[in-house]
Chains A and B, each alone.
Chain A
Amino acid sequence: MIQTVLDQLNAQCVAKCDHAKTGLAWSVFLPASELLRAVKLLHKEEFFLEDVTAIDAKEGYLLVYHFDHMDRPGRLALRVLVSHDAPRVPSIAPVFSGAEWHERETRDFYGIDFSGNPNLVPLLLPADLDVHPLQKEEGARAYVADLLSPCEVLRSEPGFDLLTPKAVEGDKKAKAGDGEGTAA
């Protein structure tokens, strides 16, 4: 069951979302090192990979892996934040073979390096193009907290502050500390 998977994950933050409002059932923040273990668990639970994409936010690239289940409804979004300077995550292609293309596409658009992808060459863009069109300029980037719809945070690691609104600087520490309530 999805609950057991979520319990086993060393997630930074697990949030339950309202499907009617966001289209997601769960939103999970993971450190990059945990990603491969998480997708292996999902593969065992017969989840399938919907897509891989990234959001270029102020804190870094927020990679989003959408998973869904064929028998039970409940879309799951795994989110991994990587820094702008060294965008690198392990590839999940060894587990979900379809991810190879999604990762190549994401590399084309954002310049993120998926280490371990068997064939990390440009997919949609020309081979000799050195531009990543979906990267945003520094000024145009927004905070992750401003981009994601509010979800009910079930648990989160201490110090995890991605979902805390940045506009009110004073509240930041207090909210991150108790790690409860609705964020964003």
Chain B
Amino acid sequence: MRNEKLDLVTGDFYTQNFQKGARENTLILNMGPQHPSTHGVLRIILELDGEYIVRAEPILGYLHRMHEKMAEVKTLVQYMPNMGRVDYGHPLAWNWAFAGAVERLGGIEVPERAEYLRVISCELNRITSHLLWWGAYILDLGAFTPIMYAFDDRERLLDILQIVTGSRLTYSSFRFGGVCADINDKFKELVNDFIPYMRTRLPMYKGLVTDNIILRKRVEEIGYFSPDMIRRYGATGPVARGSGLAYDVRRAEPYSVYNRFDWKVPVYEKGDAMARYLVRLDEIEQSLNIVEQAMASLPEGKHIVDKAPKYTWKAPKGEAYFAVEGGRGKVGVQVVSDGGKNPYKIKLRAPGFSNLSLFAEASQGTLLADAVAILGSLDLIIPEIDR
């Protein structure tokens, strides 16, 4: 009985498919879908030689919800809440990409104040996204405390974002032609308190984690991505900027009012996990700068156009693509409409999807612990990858 069981061909379709290419005397290890450092439900099949990785293959689909099919059975307005669920880290970027694509298609003008509100809330959301990543990444590397400090700061931001969006995680507060609500005095007060507070926290992060020799040894010179590799895989966001490619959609394809503010695109040349780490920490600082300037120059006006599309609104025929810079990279939404009630097709371009596809190549020959460090440095949000 026993031996029979041991002799059985084990593993599901993917494991068997992976095993075909395995070398002799290696260990096939299933990391995930339930594993502490795969952030939910990513599964990676590893071929190990000792603790060295010979080959790796990420298996996706454990959180697949077929958002693109859902789009075809809903009207455009009804599809908006889905955008809050694609990526729980930076949902406002998805809100914006979708709203922007539809506005482009329907030729809807967005009031200036709404653009500012979008910038403010989206940048605050970017900070929450990076804080979540920061805490979780350090947790992956074995330190338990920083995530709590990050969440302390993140909670303050969630309070702030709750005022303007009404929810704490899966925001769907953008509307075609504006945002769903204007800000109030409490919001202004909290944001103005938060910006100097966060600036005092960043040196603490640096002292506790960034400068720590144990952490530096864990992430420096680990997971090198060359610029060509970035282009071949289409990686964007902090992953690309960590490899010396100064590509930020907010600069390269300026949308909204970003070019009115003074901010820098942080770029690090080294291409290792530390570079990606530093890019994200610098981005928190830049986002604070943007929010500060936007709050100072917030124009009066409406937060949404007068005749915002109702749920029965039909988009004109045509196709539009809109890309924004999300916390993980380029978030793109392509809307194709045949003039009917529901969109003909919606394509969601998830940055994490392209970023994760790098992993198989980058992890070859590294240690198991390094694989965790590389995986974390990609800033994965699985629902966004699986859609």
Point out residues on A near B: beta carbons under 8 Å. Answer: 19-24, 43, 46-51, 53, 55-56, 64, 66, 68, 70-71, 73, 75, 77, 95-98, 100-102, 109, 119, 121-128, 133-134, 142, 146-150
Question: Knowing A47-B231, A70-B240 touch, does A23 contact B322 (C-beta < 8 A)?
Answer: yes
- Which of A43, A48, A96 counts the most chain B CB atoms within 10 A? A48
21 pairs, A vs B, C-beta closer than 8 Å: A21-B104, A23-B101, A23-B104, A48-B234, A49-B231, A49-B233, A49-B234, A51-B349, A53-B345, A55-B336, A70-B247, A95-B232, A97-B229, A98-B232, A102-B353, A123-B61, A127-B12, A133-B66, A134-B69, A142-B344, A146-B317
Are A46 and B231 interface neighbours, CB within 8 A?
A: yes
CB distance from B31 to the nearest CB of A (A): 18
CB distance from B243 to the nearest CB of A (A): 10
CB distance from A71 to the nearest CB of B (A): 8
Are B318 and A22 interface neighbours, CB within 8 A?
A: yes
Least CB separation from B57: chain A residue: A119
Give chain B residues whose Cβ lies under 8 Å from the Cβ of A146: 317, 338-339
State A51–B236 Cα separation when bound (angstroms): 12
Give chain B residues whose Cβ lies under 8 Å from the Cβ of A46: 231
Are A70 and B332 interface neighbours, CB within 8 A?
A: no
Instruction: Given contacts A23-B104, A70-B247, list 13 more A-B pairs with CB under 8 A.
Output: A22-B318, A48-B235, A49-B232, A50-B330, A55-B336, A66-B349, A97-B229, A97-B232, A101-B354, A121-B14, A146-B339, A147-B337, A148-B319
Q: Which residue of B61, B231, B235 contacts A122 across the interface (Cβ within 8 Å)? A: B61
Could you mark each residue 8-30 of chain B with 1 if its beta carbon is under 8 Å from any beta carbon of chain A, else 0? Answer: 00001110010000000000000
Give chain A residues whose Cβ lies under 8 Å from the Cβ of B51: none
Least CB separation from A24: chain B residue: B321
Are B320 and A55 interface neighbours, CB within 8 A?
A: no
- Which of B61, B64, B234, B345 counts the most chain A CB atoms within 10 A? B234
Are B252 and A53 interface neighbours, CB within 8 A?
A: no
State A147–B320 Cα separation when bound (angstroms): 10
Are A66 and B332 interface neighbours, CB within 8 A?
A: yes
Give chain A residues whose Cβ lies under 8 Å from the Cβ of B247: 70-71
Give chain B residues whose Cβ lies under 8 Å from the Cβ of A68: 330
State A102–B337 Cα separation when bound (angstroms): 22
User: CB of B323 within 8 A of chain A?
Assistant: yes
Give chain B residues whose Cβ lies under 8 Å from the Cβ of A24: 321
User: CB of B108 within 8 A of chain A?
Assistant: no
Are B345 and A70 interface neighbours, CB within 8 A?
A: no
Interface positions of B from 51 to 69, Cβ below 8 Å from A: 57, 60-61, 64, 66, 68-69
Could you mark each residue 230-256 of chain B with 1 if its beta carbon is under 8 Å from any beta carbon of chain A, else 0? Answer: 111111100010000111000011000
State A56–B345 Cα separation when bound (angstroms): 9
Give chain A residues whose Cβ lies under 8 Å from the Cβ of B64: 124-125
Are A124 and B60 interface neighbours, CB within 8 A?
A: yes
Point out residues on B near A: beta carbons under 8 Å. Answer: 12-14, 17, 57, 60-61, 64, 66, 68-69, 72, 101, 104-105, 107, 229-236, 240, 245-247, 252-253, 317-323, 330, 332, 334, 336-339, 344-345, 347, 349, 353-354, 357-358, 361, 386-387
CB distance from A182 to the nearest CB of B (A): 12
Give chain B residues whose Cβ lies under 8 Å from the Cβ of A50: 234, 330, 332, 349, 354
State A20–B321 Cα separation when bound (angstroms): 10
Least CB separation from B322: chain A residue: A23
CB distance from A72 to the nearest CB of B (A): 8
Give chain A residues whose Cβ lies under 8 Å from the Cβ of B345: 53, 55-56, 134, 147
Question: Knowing A43-B232, A53-B334, A125-B64 touch, does A70 contact B322 (C-beta < 8 A)?
Answer: no
Least CB separation from A128: chain B residue: B13
Least CB separation from A67: chain B residue: B234
CB distance from A43 to the nearest CB of B (A): 7
Least CB separation from A74: chain B residue: B253
State A169–B321 Cα separation when bound (angstroms): 29
Q: Which residue of B12, B322, B344, B357 contacts A98 across the interface (Cβ within 8 Å)? A: B357
State A102–B347 Cα separation when bound (angstroms): 12
Are A147 and B349 interface neighbours, CB within 8 A?
A: no
Q: Which residue of A123, A126, A134 contacts B68 across the interface (Cβ within 8 Å)? A: A134
State A133–B72 Cα separation when bound (angstroms): 11
Give chain A residues whose Cβ lies under 8 Å from the Cβ of B231: 43, 46-49, 70
Are B321 and A147 interface neighbours, CB within 8 A?
A: no
Least CB separation from B338: chain A residue: A142
Are A75 and B321 interface neighbours, CB within 8 A?
A: yes
CB distance from A55 to the nearest CB of B (A): 5
CB distance from A145 to the nearest CB of B (A): 9
Are A97 and B104 interface neighbours, CB within 8 A?
A: no
State A95–B61 Cα separation when bound (angstroms): 25
Give chain A residues whose Cβ lies under 8 Å from the Cβ of B68: 109, 134
The 9 closest A-B CB pairs, nearest first, are A23-B321, A98-B233, A149-B318, A127-B13, A48-B231, A70-B247, A49-B234, A142-B338, A124-B61
Question: Knowing A142-B344, A146-B339 touch, does A51 contact B234 (C-beta < 8 A)?
Answer: yes
Give chain A residues whose Cβ lies under 8 Å from the Cβ of B105: 149
Least CB separation from A70: chain B residue: B247
Give chain B residues whose Cβ lies under 8 Å from the Cβ of A109: 68
